[in-house]
Amino acid sequence: MKKLLVLSTLAAVLAAGTALADTSGKKIAFSNNYAGNSWRQAMLDSYGIVTKKAVDDKIVGAADVFTTADKEVPTQAAQVQNLILQGYDAIVINAASPDALNGAIKQACDAGITVVSFDGTVTEPCAYRVVVDFKDMGKQEVEHMAKFQPKGGNLLEIRGLAGTSIDDAIHAGILEGVAAHPEFKIVGSVTGDWDQTTAQKAVATILPSLPDIVGIVDQGGDGYGAAQAFAAANKPRPTIIMGNRQDELKWWKEQKDKDGYQTWSASIAPGVSTLAFWVAQQVLDGRKDIPHDLLVPYLAFTQDDFEAALPKIKEGGVATHEYTQEDAIAAIKANIK
């Protein structure tokens, strides 16, 4: 019995990935291309909390954050090149474009720098990608919609920032979902840019020209704006899929308390930035077996558990989850096949 305990402890220690190399002197930079919405702010907050502790605990030497002034690809490419010159050991990146930064990313790899991308990932093979299955998220939106609206009907789709891979993946998932559920028909599509105000304006503009809508499939950050647009036009409230924003969940709770309104909420947790950070730390630690593509789950809330999460989200913020080193090791393990 005792032997078994010792063995299992040993196994646990091994699984936890004992420090193969010392990373206390390593410097990790975070290249971020945009900070102007609640999601990105939560992402930076989570990253700040986790990395500050990691630096204080002497796990890494430095973890600096660099945000570009605009959302532009060339600016971020230049930023990555400057980080190379600064002598960082690893770069964690939320990229403005999956392909157009490959030139700069390759230069970083060639200079011996570990690159870990997340959210806005990069396709350059030398980089690591912490990927959320956005396509599945889009598909699940329609699956849940089918539960709330079993009779089917007309859907309105709210798209994200045009030309981005995230918008493309969620849209593809939604189309796949609709193909599997022929009772639904997308009768209109607007661009909401993941922003409540933009979404509200866009929905208000298209609303008069639409037939009756039973549901809205969207990408997060746009659900509350859509609800406002419907309320302002005195149209019946459709089932709106939410995206984990505080204002969205608060609105959901109000509606639920009023008449038992049902919906579903999903989005990528902004704290996935911290997971990317730990992956970079693990690579610097000398682990060689880490797959370059790491699939991590998205954060979803259902009718039963969203109210518990709501008080923890700060006003105007978005639901998040800060990952630990152990989470990262577990995620890596789950992806090694």
Partner 1 sequence: MDNGFKGSAARNEAARARLLRGLLPALSLALVLAAIAWLNPRAISYFGFSLMLNLAIPIALATIAQMFVIAGNELDLSIGTFVGFVGCVTATWLKDAPLIGVLILVGLIGIYALLGALIHMRNLPSIVVTLGMSFVWQGLAILVLPKPGGKAPDWLLAIMSFKPPFIPFPIIAALLIAAVVHFGLMRTSYGVILRGSGGNPAALRRAGWSLLKTKIVLFALAGLFGVLSGMALIGITTSADANIGNGYTLLAIAGVILGGGEFVGGRVSPIGAVIGALTLALAASPLLTFMHIPPDWQVAANGAILIIVLAARVLISRRER
Residues recorded for the chain: 337
In the complex with partner 1, the residue whose CB is nearer, 170 or 268, is 170
Helical pair 165-180 and 134-148, crossing angle rounded to 10 deg: 40
Site for partner 1, rule CB under 8 A: 32, 35, 44, 64-75, 77-79, 81-87, 96-104, 106-107, 123, 162-165, 168
- What contacts 12, CB < 8 A, 6 or more positions away? none
In the complex with partner 1, the residue whose CB is nearer, 81 or 335, is 81
At closest approach, how far in Å is the CB of 42 from partner 1?
14
At closest approach, how far in Å is the CB of 40 from partner 1?
11
DSSP state of 104: H
In the complex with partner 1, the residue whose CB is nearer, 72 or 133, is 72
Distance in angstroms (rounded) separating the CA atoms of residues 33 and 94: 7
- Of the candidates 216, 227, 267, the one whose C-alpha atom is nearest the C-alpha of residue 251 is 227
At closest approach, how far in Å is the CB of 138 from partner 1?
14
In the complex with partner 1, the residue whose CB is nearer, 110 or 212, is 110
At closest approach, how far in Å is the CB of 325 from partner 1?
23
At closest approach, how far in Å is the CB of 4 from partner 1?
49
Bridge partners, 65 (sequence order): 30
At closest approach, how far in Å is the CB of 106 from partner 1?
8
In the complex with partner 1, the residue whose CB is nearer, 98 or 225, is 98
In the complex with partner 1, the residue whose CB is nearer, 133 or 327, is 133
Q: Is 116 exposed, middle or buried (0-12, 13-18, 19+ CB in 10 A)?
A: buried
At closest approach, how far in Å is the CB of 75 from partner 1?
6
Distance in angstroms (rounded) separating the CA atoms of residues 325 and 327: 5
Are 221 and 199 within 8 A, CB to CB? yes
Distance in angstroms (rounded) separating the CA atoms of residues 194 and 301: 18
At closest approach, how far in Å is the CB of 68 from partner 1?
8
Q: How far is CA 266 from CA 38, 67, 192, 277, in A?
A: 15, 26, 17, 23
Distance in angstroms (rounded) separating the CA atoms of residues 115 and 112: 9
Distance in angstroms (rounded) separating the CA atoms of residues 306 and 226: 20
Distance in angstroms (rounded) separating the CA atoms of residues 321 and 324: 10
- Of the candidates 116, 100, 107, 62, the one whose C-alpha atom is nearest the C-alpha of residue 81 is 107
In the complex with partner 1, the residue whose CB is nearer, 67 or 303, is 67
In the complex with partner 1, the residue whose CB is nearer, 201 or 250, is 201
At closest approach, how far in Å is the CB of 43 from partner 1?
11
Q: How far is CA 305 from CA 145, 308, 311, in A?
A: 18, 6, 12
In the complex with partner 1, the residue whose CB is nearer, 114 or 239, is 114
